[in-house]
Amino acid sequence: MTTDFPEIRDAVARLCADFPGRYWREHDRARSYPKEFVAALSAAGYLAVLIPDEYGGSGLGIAAASAVLEEIHKSGCNGAACHAQMYTMGTLLKHGSEAQKRAYLPQIAAGSLRLQAFGVTEPTSGTDTTRIRTTAVRAGDAYRVSGQKVFISRTEHSDLMLLLVRTTAREQVAKPTDGMSVLLVDLRAAVGNGLTIKPLATMMNHATTELFFDELEVPAANLVGEEGKGFSYILDSMNAERILIAAECVGDARWFVAKASAYASERQVFGRPIGQNQGVQFPIARAHVQSEAAALMVVRAAALFDAGEKCGAEANMAKLLASDASAAAADVCIQTHGGYGFAEEYDIERKFRETRLYQVAPVSTNLILSYVGTHVLGMPKSF
Ligand SMILES: Cc1cc2nc3c(=O)[nH]c(=O)nc-3n(C[C@H](O)[C@H](O)[C@H](O)COP(=O)(O)OP(=O)(O)OC[C@H]3O[C@@H](n4cnc5c(N)ncnc54)[C@H](O)[C@@H]3O)c2cc1C
């Protein structure tokens, strides 16, 4: 809610004021990485909000992290360039060894080490994660990784990547979710030595890539947790990711609603403000109602997460409601602006493209509905 973490919100809004629409438009046109924005957020410590104090972070929890990302998006900025620096480390924090945590977390908290790449999706398996084909074979003190990933974001702007691989074939395990493992890959050493990164252009400026692994050697010491249990480890990070992306969508929705209502009140056509027409006013009011309802679900999911309680249902519902709300608000905002909604200088078309992603990634709306239908409501599974 807007009343939560007022100091953090004010400070983030002030930081974002240094990165106006012009800044984002230029990076969007050039498809370049907004490194100045990421550097400012890192320097201010906002990307270390979830790292406990003992490892150099502020240990504030996901509700505070949500406030940071929501405010970034409400200010017209885009957290996608670096949001994963906040939560990817969650798998390491929860399942890594003490030696791994001591080695990496303080540097991640300081921003000197970037862990903001999370490699799960593959071209052939898609959403059906248990069918991933990227395989790691143990050979002495190392794993040899071969396979392919797609849409893996920020790998060119990250030092480390958490990678989901198969260590035991699907046919040889009791449950399809068994036999997968998480490796911490040092991208600086890997590129050119078994890993090739290929940028993948998309409809928005997102720094996403394809990855090709050819016998990449990863030290066995970089296995996170136990071999074969990686799927359950990444589920923890996924709940955090869903809550935080939902918070970004709430921020986007509020940005669109504010823009649309201001414009509808100012723009005069037929001798009166267009917002006086209920055909213009009501869709904006509805978008506001939807985004505020979604915001409440984000708060609820974050509270459960921070209390260490089960939050899978709420994290998924928050993500669905918030991404629906931001997409609806984006559409209303364009419609309210008429032709100007399509003009780059208004930033609406850019944010429209950016927020549209969240109905597909990091998990698509259909897959959330399937989770709610089967895991929450107990209906029969379709797959
Ligand atoms: C810009 C961008 C950045 C990304 N970043 C990352 C990243 O950093 N790391 C990463 O691992 N992944 C990343 N992804 C991948 C993203 O998580 C996937 O695109 C998403 O999970 C969907 O997988 P898919 O594209 O293979 O679609 P598919 O699995 O092929 O699905 C296509 C469509 O069919 C629907 N569908 C599939 N099966 C069913 C079913 N049984 N019932 C109903 N509907 C179904 C889906 O909902 C979807 O709408 C990113 C994607 C994009 C576009």
pLDDT in tens, 298-353: 999 999 999 999 999 999 999 999 999 999 999 999 999 999 999 999 999 999 99
What atom in ligand 1 is closest to the CA of residue 126?
26
Q: Is the CB of 237 under 6 A from ligand 1?
A: no
In testing the pocket of ligand 1, which one of 360, 368, 371 has its CB within 8 Å of the most ligand atoms? Answer: 360
Closest CA to 196 of 214, 208, 217: 214
143-155 average pLDDT score: 98
Give the burial class of 26: count Cβ atoms within 10 A of its Cβ; 0-12 exposed, 13-18 middle, 19 or more buried: exposed
Q: What is the mean pLDDT of the chain?
A: 97
pLDDT at 3: 59
Q: In the annotation, is 36 catalytic?
A: no
Read off the pLDDT of residues 167-224 as tens digits, 9 standing for 90 and up: 999 999 999 999 999 999 999 999 999 999 999 999 999 999 999 999 999 999 999 9
- How many Å lie between the centroid of ligand 1 and the Cα of residue 91? 21
pLDDT at 71: 98
- How many Å lie between the centroid of ligand 1 and the Cα of residue 278? 37
pLDDT category at 235 given cuts 50, 70, 90 is confident
217, 47 in Cβ contact below 8 A? no
> What percent of the chain is modeled with pLDDT above 70?
99
Catalytic residue among 70, 241, 314, 354: 241
Say which residue the tokens 């309680």 belong to: 309
pLDDT category at 2 given cuts 50, 70, 90 is very low
The DSSP string of 332-357 is HHHHHHGGGGGSGGGSHHHHHHHHHG
- How many Å lie between the centroid of ligand 1 and the Cα of residue 129? 10
Task: Say yes or no to pLDDT of 263 above 80.
Answer: yes
Q: Please name the residue whose Cα sits nearest to atom 19 of ligand 1.
A: 361
Total Cβ atoms within 10 A of residue 281: 18
Query: At residue 122, what is the residue type?
Result: E
Q: How far is CA 67 from the centre of its chain?
A: 14
Closest CA to 255 of 21, 10, 18: 21
**H-state helical runs in the chain:** 6-17, 21-30, 35-43, 62-74, 83-87, 89-95, 98-110, 187-190, 230-266, 278-306, 312-337, 348-356, 365-371
